[in-house]
């Protein structure tokens, strides 16, 4: 029986691997996701056959409760809030690992088990990673929602982080030194780790949340793998490390797209120099009289003659829920024979691939979505590039000004298009907090306003031409 259960876990892991393999192409992705779901069903069934289980009431109640909450979340969440949902699910996953580890610990105390060093290390890892993922995700979700702003007390958080680390080490040494388990030590470790999670994420700026969400995704997987070590369950280890690898790769992709190292993202807020507040006062001087404003009617006239148009969506598009308005304008332009494509910067939006999902929701074919390396050589031939609520990812200073704080960050070369139209609510700086020299270029026009309203006005103006 034991062998059969373990073989089922292995089968489930194979299904997960095949499922992720399906995710490598949009056409096979739905099937891939279904394969993963079948794998999960196999694993759950196998777990229910475990010979130690004496009561099913709690299990079934938990599954029913969790499934209804999950189904509700999946149905209700708008595509624009996907980053918040994924960040919450990271935290839930971490919490689940933490609860399993805590329960296993208490059961071991009750049974007076003699524990090995390996077991202790594994359960400690499971608790530490699980708790950090849980509390860190809560902070990340609140930051994504804008409920908490950027911390001005990064140094204090740094102290709290250090103090909780020392506390965890003390607890761990007690645990290993005495070879004794106590529920008091468990409680202390969990509390300190939760605090550590908050201390680690709180000093990181809201702009860097995509990286944090990807990293917490990795942690939630690694917490699962650690639980696998505790329970000596290889299926759990395989699956946890798959998820861990996925999160780590996405973290690396994000960091590369921002031209920053992971330590810089994670600790820049707490250990780096405090951001200077001077740049803001220079903004009005920087832009003074040099920005050319246009109206949606001007934009319509401009687009009427364009053969090739590139849309550059940014977070502003998500905020304005303008994905359907983009599609309407694109339909008009395509009806007039123009070629429309979409340039997607890897860090556009609030999580990896967020823009692609929003545009897919508006039924824009995914083969019109171009990544940075594909679209950059095509931009000099584009008649019009429309920047929709993006800022730092199109700032030419990243390519041209060695003194700029974002110098070296890969950008979309929209300034090379014949005309760039920036649709933006204000001239306020992007996440990097620096003015954008794109707005004062000769080939650049600014249409002030909400992305959705501007696009709708332009679409109706074009229809009247």
Partner 1 sequence: MEMLVLSFTIFILALFVGVELINKVPPTLHTPLMSGTNAISGIVIVGAIVSAGTNHLSPTVASVLGFIAVTLASINIVAGFMVTDRMLNMFKQKG
Q: Which residues are catalytic?
A: 392
Range 370-389, binding partner 1 (CB under 8 A):
371
Q: Is 313 near partner 1 (CB under 8 A)?
A: no
Distance CA 325, CA 320 (A): 10
| Residue 180: CB minimum distance to partner 1, A | 18
User: Which C-beta is closer to partner 1: that of 305 or that of 377?
Assistant: 377
DSSP per residue, 396-463:
THHHH-TTSTTTT-----GGGSSEEEEEES-S---TT----GGGGSTTEEEEES-HHHHHHHHHHHHH
Q: CB under 8 A: which stretch of 29-37, 386-394, 396-404, 446-454 binds partner 1?
A: 29-37
User: Which C-beta is closer to partner 1: that of 9 or that of 315?
Assistant: 9
Burial of 50 (0-12, 13-18, 19+ CB in 10 A): exposed
Range 176-215, binding partner 1 (CB under 8 A):
183, 213-214
In the set 285, 367, 442, 464, which binds partner 1 (CB under 8 A)? 367
- Show the DSSP H helices in 272-370 as ranges: 279-287, 296-304, 315-319, 323-335, 354-361
In the set 206, 244, 314, 433, which binds partner 1 (CB under 8 A)? 244
User: Which C-beta is closer to partner 1: that of 12 or that of 329?
Assistant: 12
Sheet of 444-448, strands arranged across = 369-371, 339-344, 308-313, 384-388, 419-424, 444-448
Are the C-beta atoms of 6 and 235 separated by less than 8 Å?
yes
User: Which C-beta is closer to partner 1: that of 92 or that of 275?
Assistant: 92
Q: Is 360 near partner 1 (CB under 8 A)?
A: yes
Q: Is 52 near partner 1 (CB under 8 A)?
A: yes
User: Which C-beta is closer to partner 1: that of 25 or that of 307?
Assistant: 25
Taking Cα atoms as reference points, which of 273, 144, 158, 146 lies closest to residue 208? 144
Q: Is 320 near partner 1 (CB under 8 A)?
A: no
Range 144-183, binding partner 1 (CB under 8 A):
183
Q: Is 227 near partner 1 (CB under 8 A)?
A: yes
| Residue 373: CB minimum distance to partner 1, A | 10
Taking Cα atoms as reference points, which of 199, 181, 203 lies closest to residue 191? 199
Q: Is 131 near partner 1 (CB under 8 A)?
A: no
Count of beta carbons in the 10 Å neighbourhood of residue 187: 12
In the set 199, 203, 224, 316, which binds partner 1 (CB under 8 A)? 224
Q: Is 225 near partner 1 (CB under 8 A)?
A: yes
Instruction: Report helix, strand and coil shares of the chain as percent, to nearest 5.
Output: 65, 5, 25
DSSP per residue, 200-265:
HHTTS-GGGHHHHHHHHHHHHHHHHHHHHHHHT-HHHHHHHHHHHHHHHHHHHHHHHHTT--HHHH
Q: CB under 8 A: which stretch of 156-164, 241-249, 314-322, 393-401 binds partner 1?
A: 241-249
Range 63-102, binding partner 1 (CB under 8 A):
63, 65-67, 69-71, 73-75, 77, 79, 82, 85-86, 89-90, 92-93, 95-97, 99-100, 102
In the set 120, 158, 202, 233, which binds partner 1 (CB under 8 A)? 233
In the set 269, 313, 316, 352, which binds partner 1 (CB under 8 A)? 352
User: Which C-beta is closer to partner 1: that of 55 or that of 177?
Assistant: 55
In the set 136, 197, 203, 228, which binds partner 1 (CB under 8 A)? 228
Tokens of 386: 């429309």
In the set 211, 309, 344, 406, which binds partner 1 (CB under 8 A)? 344
Distance CA 202, CA 266 (A): 10
Q: CB under 8 A: which stretch of 279-287, 295-303, 305-313, 363-371 binds partner 1?
A: 363-371
| Greatest extent of the chain over all pairs of C-alpha atoms, in Å | 83
Tokens of 138: 């809560």
User: Which C-beta is closer to partner 1: that of 222 or that of 386?
Assistant: 222
Which residues neighbour 432 within 8 Å (Cβ) at sequence distance 6 or greater? 207, 391, 392, 395, 405, 406
The count of chain residues that interact with partner 1, using the rule CB under 8 A, is 118
Q: Is 43 near partner 1 (CB under 8 A)?
A: yes
Q: Is 322 near partner 1 (CB under 8 A)?
A: no
Tokens of 122: 């594994």
What spatial distance separates the first Cα and last Cα of the chain, rounded to whole Å?
75
| Residue 315: CB minimum distance to partner 1, A | 14
């Amino acid at each position: 029986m034991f062998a059969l259960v373990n073989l089922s876990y292995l089968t489930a892991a194979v299904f997960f691997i095949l499922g992720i393999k399906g995710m490598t192409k949009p056409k096979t992705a739905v099937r891939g996701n279904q394969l993963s779901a079948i794998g999960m069903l196999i694993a759950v069934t196998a777990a229910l056959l475990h010979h130690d289980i004496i009561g099913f009431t709690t299990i079934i109640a938990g599954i029913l409760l969790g499934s209804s909450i999950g189904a509700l979340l999946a149905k209700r969440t708008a595509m624009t809030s996907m980053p918040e949902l994924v960040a919450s699910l990271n935290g839930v996953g971490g919490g689940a690992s933490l609860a399993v580890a805590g329960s296993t610990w208490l059961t071991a105390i009750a049974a007076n088990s003699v524990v090995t060093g390996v077991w202790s290390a594994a359960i400690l890892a499971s608790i530490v990673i699980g708790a950090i993922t849980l509390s860190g995700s809560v902070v990340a979700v609140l930051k994504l929602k804008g409920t908490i702003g950027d911390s001005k007390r990064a140094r204090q958080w740094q102290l709290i982080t250090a103090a909780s680390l020392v506390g965890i080490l003390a607890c761990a040494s007690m645990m290993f030194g005495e070879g004794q388990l106590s529920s008091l030590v468990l409680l202390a470790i969990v509390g300190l780790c939760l605090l550590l999670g908050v201390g680690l994420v709180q000093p990181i700026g809201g702009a860097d949340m995509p990286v944090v969400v990807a990293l917490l995704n990795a942690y939630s997987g690694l917490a699962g793998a650690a639980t696998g070590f505790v329970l000596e369950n290889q299926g759990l280890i395989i699956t946890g490390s798959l998820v861990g690898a996925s999160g780590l790769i996405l973290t690396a992709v994000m960091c590369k797209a921002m031209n920053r190292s992971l330590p810089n993202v994670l600790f820049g807020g707490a250990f780096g120099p405090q951001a200077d507040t001077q740049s803001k006062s220079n903004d009005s001087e920087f832009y003074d009289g040099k920005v050319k404003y246009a109206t949606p009617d001007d934009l319509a006239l401009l687009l009427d003659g364009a053969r090739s148009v590139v849309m550059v969506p940014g977070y502003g598009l998500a905020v304005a829920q303008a994905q359907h308005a983009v599609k309407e304008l694109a339909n008009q332009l395509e009806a007039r024979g123009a070629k429309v494509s979409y340039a997607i910067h890897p860090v556009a939006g609030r999580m990896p691939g967020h823009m692609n999902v929003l545009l897919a929701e508006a039924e824009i074919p995914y083969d019109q979505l171009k990544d940075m390396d594909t679209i950059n050589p095509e931009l000099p031939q584009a008649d019009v590039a429309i920047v929709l609520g993006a800022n730092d990812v199109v700032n030419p200073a990243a390519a041209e000004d060695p003194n700029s704080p974002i110098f070296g960050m890969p950008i979309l070369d929209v300034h090379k298009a014949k005309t760039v139209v920036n649709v933006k609510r204000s001239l306020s700086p992007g996440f990097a907090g620096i003015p954008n020299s794109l707005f004062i270029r000769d080939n650049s026009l600014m249409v002030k306003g909400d992305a959705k309203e501007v696009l709708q006005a332009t679409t109706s103006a074009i229809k009247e031409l």
